[in-house]
Amino acid sequence: MKLFNIIMFNLQIIFGVASFFVSIYALKYDSTPRYLKYFIGYTLVAFLLVVPGFFIFNFMKNWRKLLDCVYLISTVYHYIFLGTFIIAFTNGPKKRWIYLVAFIFLSILIYSIVIEYSNEHSKMPISIASFGLIVLSLIYFYRLLKYPSNVNLINLPVFWIITGVFLSMGLQFPFSATFDSFYKKVSFEKYSFLYGIITFSYVILHAFIIKSYLCSIKNSKKLLYS
């Protein structure tokens, strides 16, 4: 089970690096949508976190506490970036209340980071961030059906990103929310396995980010050759 955690962590690094390089490659095409160019802000931060993370996790175990602290704080950036991205592409009028919901979750997230800062094993901030993003994604999908736009979803890069957020947070939330109770009850090995599942959720997220950039590149090539 510990091996499972190691594999998942390294897989997360591979996918994080891959999503960064694919996002850079997509810049080559002029017809890449502007929002995808701005999304490099997320893939770049992910890249800057996972690369040192790889070395610390595998070779510098003394630095793991620092790594956990950095990841905890990066959860705020992760939530704000993805949350505002989802709201920006949510269809329909009256988005102020959606921003209000997002702000409430952000406040709870920051509060949880402050109170759980000293508890290195706590996953409460991650679970709050995940839940907030799940709620925002559900609002996006609801409005997608209520105010349909005349576009083919399969060719829409933003849809793939938000689907990736929804599924990855959907996988992560139940585990991260109940993680703290398991940590006290089960052995280190078993709890590593659960940690591995949380890590795997980021693999899903980056896989969908790669998919969205590939979709955009495919659309650009179609335009080029049409």
Partner 1 sequence: MFNKELEEIVVFVIYFGIIFVFFVVFIVLVVKQHQDNYHSSQRFLNDLKAVHEIEMFRSQVEIQEQTFQHIAQEIHDNIGQKLTLAKLKLNRLDFAQLGSNKEAVSDSIGIIGEVIADLSDVSRTMSSEVVLQNGLIKAIEYEIGQLNRTGGFKLKLQIIGEGAFLDARKELILFRIFQEALNNIIKHADATEITIRLHYQPECLILQVKDNGKGYSPEQKNATGNGMVNMRRRAIVLTGDCRIESTPGNGTLITIQIPINGEEQNMESHTGR
Binding residues vs partner 1 (CB under 8 A): 141, 144-145, 148, 150-154, 163, 166-167, 170-171, 174-175, 178, 182, 185-187, 190, 193-194, 197
Q: Smallest gap, in angstroms, from Cβ of residue 205 to partner 1?
A: 13
Q: Is 184 exposed, middle or buried (0-12, 13-18, 19+ CB in 10 A)?
A: exposed
Beta carbon nearer to partner 1, 72 or 165: 165
For the record, the structure tokens of 200 come out as 């795997």
Beta carbon nearer to partner 1, 48 or 144: 144
Q: Smallest gap, in angstroms, from Cβ of residue 17 to partner 1?
A: 25
**Angle, vertex CA 91, rays to CA 32 and CA 215, nearest 5:** 25
DSSP run (H or E) holding 225: helix 188-225
Dist. CA 178–CA 174, nearest whole Å: 6
Beta carbon nearer to partner 1, 95 or 190: 190
Of 11, 14, 36, nearest in space to 23 by CA? 36
Q: Smallest gap, in angstroms, from Cβ of residue 182 to partner 1?
A: 8
Q: Smallest gap, in angstroms, from Cβ of residue 197 to partner 1?
A: 7
Beta carbon nearer to partner 1, 50 or 162: 162
Greatest extent of the chain over all pairs of C-alpha atoms, in Å? 61
